[in-house]
Structure 1
Amino acid sequence: MSDSLNRLHPLSAVTYALQHGFVWLWIPVTLLLVLAGVFDPIRAGWIPFVAPIGFLAGVAYGVAYYYRFGYAVTPDTVDVSSGVVARRSREIPYRRIQNVDIKQGVIQRVLGLAVVSIETAGGGDSEATLNFVGEAEATRLQREIRRRTADSRDRQRSRDEQTAESEATTDASELADTGPSGESPSTPVRTPDAESSSPSAGPEPSEPGEPSDTGTNEFSEQRRHPLFALQSRELLLYSFTSVRAAAVAGVMFVFFLATDSIFDYLLTVAEPVGGPADLGSGTVGSYGVLTLVSLLNAIGVTYLLSVAYTFGTYYDFQLGRVGEDFVYERGLLQRYSGSIPSEKVQSVTITDNPLQRLIGYAGLWVETAGYGPDSNGGSQSAVPLARRERVHTFTENLTGVETPTFQRPPPLARRRYLARYSLLAGLIVLVAFGITQVTIFDRWYLAAVVFLAVPPAAHLRYVHLGYYVGDDHIVIRRGFWKRQTTVIPYYRIQTVSTRRSVFQRRLGLASLVIDTASSRTMTRSAPRIYDIELADARETHQTSRERLQTALRERAAADDPGVSVDFT
């Protein structure tokens, strides 16, 4: 741990003081309310006197936290020390650092502040967060840590190459010493002194933690090469053709906190088309109209919130490369700046939904091992939206994958989906029947209309499934509402497992799960080849295992980082 630690920006002291002050304010207030309900002498009217005590205590703690927080960038690690009562000191080696993000909200941009987050592979949370530093200091830290991370990576590669050369030299020496007849040849032995004084001897390797003086590191010069920029037209198309879960959550939050004004608005809108005049009086039909109008309004508000959220999140999206890493910037109200290490990329996924497919557009996402700022377990956008042909070209240049020829599951799988969705439709009708038994509604049979959607739903699920087993990659396609085409290099495969449910065993089908270091998240499972014949699943399973070992050997021999950062 470094002895000389830097402090955060002075405004951080104000932030921490106010933050802890308002939190601690409620401690004595809550305690007073509890005691007032138990002991008569204690009165709730004392709140104006005890609340300031808690607020001042929180302010004092926040200021103490600021003065006890420090960070330093050393030759080998990033050191962070924090804690008032319980001290915590962290030394983060550069070889573990995966990402250095800079985040700025509106107020932070006005004040010239930024939040710096240091992410490491394998963690769901930030390893260290500097909240807040100045903009210039944030940029300096990001560049310095990236440079030292690249230097650490280069030194590790040099050590690996030297080790490999040393082992090869030792093997050759042993073979030469024995000779064809098993006798040692009469060749002079070079001493270390003679070897070091030889004109052909290269410079001594630098010690770990010391920057090398030889060569030019592209990261050191911080030359940024642009790869992709989201144009205004593409940003608008992306905003209007995407639906964000955050918007749905926002509408649900408003629903649970619904006020009288919201109900009055819905009643006013529904009344002209047959809705009730108020909630206390109405017929079954008028309540049905009110429900339909409320649903349509919720969908409209959700869509508008999604458009606004997507526009603000991906405004001025730019992707570039610095050295062997991708770097990006995005955001309108809250600005993000981060990197995607190429050596951490596990897979590449092309995504599109029905609207995007209709206009011929798609997006490109990369999966990394560990935490990502898009909060999808390492899922980060490389190209939010572009023409489909351009995205396919990006993918081929990025991964080196050949154009896939997809194989579909057997037609028996479509019959399975037809039966599954028929059962689901029957369950919906059953639920509707149960509702009519406890409410005033009586036309439960109208729910049977969902059976009309069963055949097209089964067909659409079937036609959007496919897989391709290539020489260096396996490609998996699945999904209709959000179709995903995932390209996985064999050397990134962690496990391959064959799964069979009870129904699949009866039909002779199986699913193949291809798991990488970033496959499983809270909202998305590992890529899976669905409902193929058992013999094909076993053959693909065995082929993947064999090509995994071959790819690992070839990659180790070629020192291949796996993806090309200059994929345009």
Structure 2
Amino acid sequence: MKKLHPASIAVRSLSRSLNTGFVFFVIGVVVSPGSNGMNLLSVFGLVTIGIVMGIVYEFAYYQRFHYELTADTFDVTSGVISRRDRELPLGRVQNVDIRQNVVERLLGIAAVHIETAGGGETEVSLRYVDEDEARRLRRQLRRGASADAADEGGDADALETGLEGTPTARETTAAAEEEVLFEIQPRELAVLSIFTIDPGASVLGGIALSFASGLDPTTLVPVDRMEALPGPASGVLALVWGLLLFALAAWVLSAALTVSRYYGFRLTRTDDELYYERGLLQRYSGTIPLEKVQALTISESIPYRWFGYAALSVETAGYAPGQSGARGTESAIPLADADRVGALARAIEPFGPVDLESPPRRSRERYAVRYLLVVAVVVGLAYLIARYAPFVRRWYLVAALAVIAPIAAHLKWTNRGFRVGERYFLTRTGFWRRTTKVVPHYRVQAVLHESTIFQRRRGLASVTADTASSASFFGRAATAYDVDAMRGLELQTEIEERLQERLRVRKQQRTSSRGRWDASTTVDDEAVDDGEL
């Protein structure tokens, strides 16, 4: 049985003692005697007791926390007041993430978070262990090094040596075979930070900076002219200036957060796993198990697409990109040249060329009608505003948006498509954020054929291939939108047949290799047979 790093007592005690100290401070203010309702000496004594209790609790937590990596399981015993024993089968381990902030990096410790299959929450957290120990646990938990050593004839002494920190022969070989797939370049990081807007922190920071700036919009306009402006115009000027200042502050803070989040982004591959590492102040690293990949998503957002950039996300069973900002599977490549992204995506899943079948032309007419209806609603709202706000004139100019509706409909139609290959189902949708999803047939959980009342009027339908990752709340399934209704039924049947075919092939491969799937052999042989490389 092993214990946490001794420095974890100090790091954990800092936050724990602050919390307990604050609670006892509040209690002291409420109940302490004195003419003013508060005795500083008694309050200080209570706060001291709270801080000491926090430190004592964390020391007890350290003493009673043990973990052990066996041949088949990862066992954790924890709890100060109530004891909790957990036994994680190594086969259920999904992702192992390592996180470090600035203080933890200075102390040489790290937090290890272990996710299991199907879990949206962390199953086990080790806060904190030595950096080398964290990397060792990540390797052995995800690769099953102890079980492999036992299967390959390693004796108990050799297994124990591997568990106690001395690298096994397999670990040494794996480290030597690590292949660097991607390292973010300064230019790519700059483009990413310029065009990325953080929806949460940037808003709060923008509000704080706007109020703290103390700038007065009236300073931009001479006083005599400001007084000459009517009341509504003066208010509009102040509002516009505030919005501009807010947007500037939000953009600056968001860019800084993006640089801090993706600084030093590095992606490597060892056998059947991808390893990521990123972060400036808060350092993250973890694994993306290739054998658990459910789908790939290539994103080409505007304006990144104008500069020839794209992003790659890898979805694994249990959760999908975007579910948590701290998880490595959120993005295999945050931003890179589109050709580099395509090459890496094909290295993970050799899906071949992206020759997509477009939806029927009548779907484009449907989009145009929908957008024209939206324009009609906007024109109606402008008319109502003009009736009750006399200073709003020429409201009818909003009707010019009707010219854009056919263009928008055409762009939406041209950016949608699908293809059913021998091994993969590909879909594409979106203009502002065009996404291409690649789903292996054997990963499909269900195939849905849906047709809304508006689609039925045009003889259209949508076909969706659900996976284990798209079943989560944040996941997005691969969907072929607005295909011909009869073609949709054919598509549904074809995907289901491909699914059964791929499952039979994989079962035969596992049987012939005595239960072991050689990923590299499978990719090469199948790709040649299917003609997709």
TM-score by length of 1: 0.78
Match of 1:144 in 2: 140
Match of 1:407 in 2: 357
The residue correspondences of 1:66-145 to structure 2 (distance < 5 A) are 66-145=62-141
Match of 1:510 in 2: 461
Q: Structure 1: which amino acid aligns with 2:190?
A: L
How far is 1:276 from its partner?
6.2
SS in 2 for 1:265: coil
- Return closer, same or farther for 1:145/1:300 CA change in 2, 3 Å cut-off: same
More divergent stretch after superposition (439-448 vs 533-542): 439-448
Match of 1:226 in 2: 180
8 Å contact kept, 1:404–1:470: no
Paired residue for 1:557, among 493, 508, 526?
A: 508
- Return closer, same or farther for 1:374/1:251 CA change in 2, 3 Å cut-off: closer
- Return closer, same or farther for 1:259/1:439 CA change in 2, 3 Å cut-off: farther
Q: Structure 2: which amino acid aligns with 1:359?
A: F
Q: Structure 1: which amino acid aligns with 2:502?
A: A
8 Å contact kept, 1:496–1:515: yes
Match of 1:492 in 2: 443
8 Å contact kept, 1:218–1:322: no
How far is 1:521 from its partner?
4.6
How far is 1:125 from its partner?
1.6
Paired residue for 2:486, among 509, 521, 535?
A: 535
8 Å contact kept, 1:35–1:42: no
Q: Structure 2: which amino acid aligns with 1:312?
A: S
Paired residue for 1:422, among 372, 384, 398?
A: 372
Tell whether 2:359 aligns with 1:390.
no
Tell whether 2:255 aligns with 1:296.
no
Paired residue for 1:332, among 270, 280, 284?
A: 280
In structure 2, distance between residues paired with 1:269 and 1:111: 50
Match of 2:37 in 1: 43
Q: Structure 2: which amino acid aligns with 1:117?
A: H
Match of 2:318 in 1: 370
How far is 1:124 from its partner?
1.0
Match of 1:461 in 2: 412
In structure 1, distance between residues paired with 2:519 and 2:10: 46
Deviations 1:458-516 (CA, angstroms, capped at 9, x unpaired): 22222111111111111000112211111111001011101222211222111111111
Match of 1:21 in 2: 17
In structure 1, distance between residues paired with 2:384 and 2:34: 52
Match of 2:530 in 1: none
In structure 2, distance between residues paired with 1:99 and 1:275: 63
How far is 1:333 from its partner?
1.8
8 Å contact kept, 1:72–1:80: yes
Match of 1:237 in 2: 191
How many residue pairs are counted as aligned between the two chains?
506
Match of 1:344 in 2: 292
The residue correspondences of 1:305-320 to structure 2 (distance < 5 A) are 305-320=253-268
In structure 2, distance between residues paired with 1:331 and 1:58: 30
How far is 1:28 from its partner?
4.2
How far is 1:370 from its partner?
2.4
In structure 1, distance between residues paired with 2:66 and 2:260: 33
More divergent stretch after superposition (43-52 vs 15-24): 43-52
How far is 1:292 from its partner?
2.8
8 Å contact kept, 1:324–1:565: no
How far is 1:266 from its partner?
5.6
- Return closer, same or farther for 1:439/1:26 CA change in 2, 3 Å cut-off: farther
In structure 1, distance between residues paired with 2:34 and 2:379: 58
Deviations 1:375-410 (CA, angstroms, capped at 9, x unpaired): 458843233333223322333333121213211112
- Structure 2 stretches of 5 or more lacking a match? 163-167, 511-516, 528-532
- Return closer, same or farther for 1:48/1:27 CA change in 2, 3 Å cut-off: same
- Return closer, same or farther for 1:395/1:143 CA change in 2, 3 Å cut-off: closer
How far is 1:118 from its partner?
1.6
Q: Structure 2: which amino acid aligns with 1:335?
A: R
How far is 1:368 from its partner?
0.8
Match of 1:171 in 2: none
Deviations 1:49-94 (CA, angstroms, capped at 9, x unpaired): 5444433333332332232222222222212122212221111111
Match of 1:182 in 2: none
In structure 1, distance between residues paired with 2:193 and 2:282: 17
Q: Structure 2: which amino acid aligns with 1:43?
A: G
In structure 2, distance between residues paired with 1:70 and 1:205: 25
SS in 1 for 2:331: strand
Q: Structure 1: which amino acid aligns with 2:349?
A: T
How far is 1:351 from its partner?
1.1
8 Å contact kept, 2:206–2:250: no
In structure 1, distance between residues paired with 2:223 and 2:118: 55
How far is 1:365 from its partner?
1.8
How far is 1:554 from its partner?
0.8
SS in 2 for 1:248: coil
Tell whether 2:417 aligns with 1:482.
no
In structure 1, distance between residues paired with 2:518 and 2:192: 31
In structure 2, distance between residues paired with 1:274 and 1:379: 59
8 Å contact kept, 1:120–1:126: yes
- Return closer, same or farther for 1:14/1:543 CA change in 2, 3 Å cut-off: same
- Return closer, same or farther for 1:333/1:18 CA change in 2, 3 Å cut-off: closer
- Return closer, same or farther for 1:378/1:488 CA change in 2, 3 Å cut-off: farther
In structure 2, distance between residues paired with 1:99 and 1:23: 31
In structure 1, distance between residues paired with 2:262 and 2:336: 13
8 Å contact kept, 1:17–1:62: yes
In structure 2, distance between residues paired with 1:387 and 1:296: 32
Paired residue for 1:381, among 327, 331, 353?
A: 331
Q: Structure 2: which amino acid aligns with 1:357?
A: R
In structure 2, distance between residues paired with 1:205 and 1:139: 22
Match of 1:265 in 2: 215
- Return closer, same or farther for 1:452/1:87 CA change in 2, 3 Å cut-off: farther
The residue correspondences of 1:156-175 to structure 2 (distance < 5 A) are none
SS in 1 for 2:121: coil
Tell whether 2:6 aligns with 1:10.
yes
8 Å contact kept, 2:429–2:436: yes
More divergent stretch after superposition (427-436 vs 55-64): 427-436
SS in 2 for 1:351: strand
What is the identity percentage for the equivalent residue pairs of Structure 1 and Structure 2? 36
In structure 1, distance between residues paired with 2:321 and 2:280: 16
- Return closer, same or farther for 1:372/1:353 CA change in 2, 3 Å cut-off: closer
- Structure 1 stretches of 5 or more lacking a match? 159-202
Larger Rg computed on CA atoms: 1
SS in 1 for 2:260: helix
Paired residue for 2:496, among 545, 548, 553?
A: 545
